[in-house]
Amino acid sequence: MNDTVQAGFNDQIKHEFYAAYLYLAISAHFEAENLSGFAHWMKMQAKEEVEHALRLHDHVLRRGGRVQLQPIGAPPAEFGSPVEIFSSVLAHEKKVTGLIHRLFEMAGEASDWAAQQELQWFIAEQVEEEDNASAALDQVTMAGDDKAALLMLDREFGSRIEE
């Protein structure tokens, strides 16, 4: 892979690890708030993000490229309401979708069809990620300030299994 595409992949590895950091921080927040179902959901999400990073990492290595791990920024330490949190999760996934699309364009500009094929998986995955985040946001929005509804949702989110 050429230097530009390789740098793009290395950047994306960082973004995926940052997403893992963000969701793990949110998970810890929910755990502290005794919303262990939401905490579980976020922890599963964090693990998926690590898998995304590793998938990109493996692709670079299989192509004979060089993985250069970058510093990962610290996630926020304070979080708002569940509605605010899931809004920020959806916004974050939309941002990642934009990054993946840009990387796909970069690969096209470099005629790197193998990279594009790898990124097709991520394009489909982002449709899922946005759909999941959007559905979760809709549900916590419906629960609103109703504590009983929130607890019921927490229990449901706690049953999310590894994909």
- Distance (Å, whole) CA 151 – CA 10: 40
How many other C-beta atoms are found inside a 10 Å radius of the C-beta of residue 147? Answer: 9
Residue 40 makes contact with Mg ion by CB under 5 A: no
DSSP 3-state of 143: helix
Nearest residue (CB) to Mg ion, 113 versus 121: 121
Shortest reach from residue 11's CB to Mg ion, in Å: 13
Q: Which residue type, as a one-letter code, is found at position 130?
A: E
Nearest residue (CB) to Mg ion, 56 versus 137: 56
Interacting residues with Mg ion between 127 and 156 (CB under 5 A): none
Torsion-angle region of 2 (φ positive above 0: left; ψ -120 to 50: alpha; else: beta)? beta
Shortest reach from residue 100's CB to Mg ion, in Å: 8
Nearest residue (CB) to Mg ion, 129 versus 154: 129
Residue 52 makes contact with Mg ion by CB under 5 A: yes
Query: First CA to last CA across the chain, in angstroms?
Result: 30
Query: Which range touches Mg ion (CB under 5 A), out of 45-53, 75-83, 132-140, 152-160?
Result: 45-53
Nearest residue (CB) to Mg ion, 136 versus 143: 136
Token pair listed for 74: 């610290």
Query: Which range touches Mg ion (CB under 5 A), out of 41-49, 108-116, 136-144, 146-154?
Result: 41-49
DSSP 3-state of 63: coil
- Distance (Å, whole) CA 123 – CA 90: 16
Contact positions vs Mg ion (CB under 5 A)? 16, 49, 52
